Amino acid sequence: MSEALLEAKGISHGFEYTLFDDVDFVLKATESAAIVGRSGSGKSTLLHIVSTFLTPNEGSVKLLNKELYALKESEIEEMRRYEIGIIFQFHYLFKGMSAMENVNVATMLSGEEIDENLLEKLEIKEVMDHKIGDLSGGQQQRVSIARVLSKKPRVIFADEPTGNLDKETANLVMDVLLEYTKHNDAALLLVTHDNEMASRCDKTYRLEEKQLKEYA
Ligand SMILES: Nc1ncnc2c1ncn2[C@@H]1O[C@H](COP(=O)(O)OP(=O)(O)OP(=O)(O)O)[C@@H](O)[C@H]1O
C-alpha cells in the first residue's frame, strides 16, 4: 500500500465562528484529491493548515512524516523550499525576470534540468524569454506551475490552479499536475470550484456542515 504523505487528525479551526470541527484527512503517494464546497466554507483555510501556513486551533498535521506544527520555523522554511509545491492564486513570480529565469530559480534548488517537455505541455515554451510582466494572467499561472513542478516536490498544494484559465487550458494544466503526481510518487491536494476539474482527481471531498465529506 502507498505511504501516507499527509495525515491530518482532529483538525478544528475558525475565526469569528468554527469553520470545521474534528476533521481527519489522509493523502497517499500517487494520490490526487480535490476539496470543493461553498464560498466561505473554509477550503482555503484548511489548505493553509495542511500546507504549513496556519496552525490550527486543534489537531495535528503530519506532512512527510514530520509533525508540522512542532517544527522550528527554519525547518518549515526548508520544507517549503525543497519538499512541497505551493500553487496559490497569488503566484510568487519575480516580475522583472523572464519566465525562464523564474523557472531557473527552482531548478537551481532542485538540482534538476529544466524539463522542456513540461514547458511544451503547458504551452509556454514559446514565451519563456518574455518578462513575466509581459505575459497574460493565464500564462503567468502556468509559468508558476512549471516553476513549482521543476522543484520536484513530493506534495503539491494548489488553490484554484485552473481558476482563470479557459476550459481547454484548465484541462491541460490538470493533465500535467495529475501526470506529475503519478510519475513522481507525489501527492496532489487541490481546492477548486470547478466540479469537472475536481472529478478528475482520485478523490473529491466536500467541505460542508463543518465536516469534510468524501463524495461517492
Ligand atoms: N485570517 C483570517 N482572519 C479572519 N477571518 C478569516 C481569515 N481567513 C479566512 N477568514 C474567514 O474564514 C472564512 C472561510 O474563508 P476561506 O477563504 O477559507 O473560504 P473558502 O471556502 O476558501 O472560500 P472561497 O471559495 O470563496 O475562496 C471566511 O468567512 C473568511 O472571511
Q: What is the pLDDT of residues 102-139, one digit of tens each?
A: 999 888 877 888 888 999 999 999 999 999 999 998 89
| CA-based nearest residue to 84, from 168, 15, 12, 186 | 186
Q: First and final CA of the chain: distance in angstroms?
A: 21
Given this model, what pLDDT does residue 1 score?
62
Measuring from atom 10 of ligand 1, which residue has the nearest CA? 15
Rounded to whole angstroms, what are the CA distances from 15 to 31, 142, 189?
A: 30, 32, 23
* 102 domain residue, yes or no: no
pTM above 0.80, yes or no: yes
Q: Is residue 159 part of a domain?
A: no
Q: Give the residues across from 201 on adjacent strands.
A: none
Q: HSE-up of 188 (CA within 13 Å, CB side)?
A: 35
Band (pLDDT 50/70/90 cuts) for residue 205 is very high
CATH of the domain at 60: 3.40.50.300
Atom of ligand 1 nearest to the CA of 14: 12
Q: Is the C-beta atom of 161 inside 6 A of ligand 1?
A: no
139 inside domain = no
Instruction: Using the predicted structure, report yes or no on whether residue 43 has a pLDDT greater than 90.
Output: yes
Residue 109 lies in a domain: no
On average, the pLDDT of the chain sits at 92
Q: Which domain holds residue 33?
A: 1-77+189-216
- Pocket probe for ligand 1: among 44, 160, 162, the residue whose CB has the most ligand atoms within 8 Å is 44
Alpha carbon of 174 to ligand 1 centroid (Å) = 25
Q: Is the pLDDT of residue 216 over 70?
A: no
Task: Indicate which atom in ligand 1 lies nearest the CA of residue 42.
Answer: 18
CA–centroid distance, residue 164 to ligand 1 (Å): 20
Evaluate whether residue 180 is within a structural domain: no
- Any idea what DSSP says for residue 126? G
**Alpha-carbon torsion, ordered 35, 38, 41, 47, to 10 deg:** 30
Structural domain count of the chain:
1
Neighbours of 14 (CB within 10 A): 14
> pLDDT tens digits for 44-85?
999 999 999 999 999 999 999 999 989 999 999 999 988 999
40 lines ligand 1 (CB under 6 A): yes
- Lowest pLDDT segment from 48-52, 89-93, 154-158, 198-202: 89-93
| Residue 37 resides in a domain | yes
Whether 111 is covered by a domain: the verdict is no
Separation CA 60–CA 68 (nearest Å): 8
Whether residue 206 lies inside any domain: the answer is yes
Length of the chain equals 216
pLDDT band for position 163 (cuts 50, 70, 90)? confident
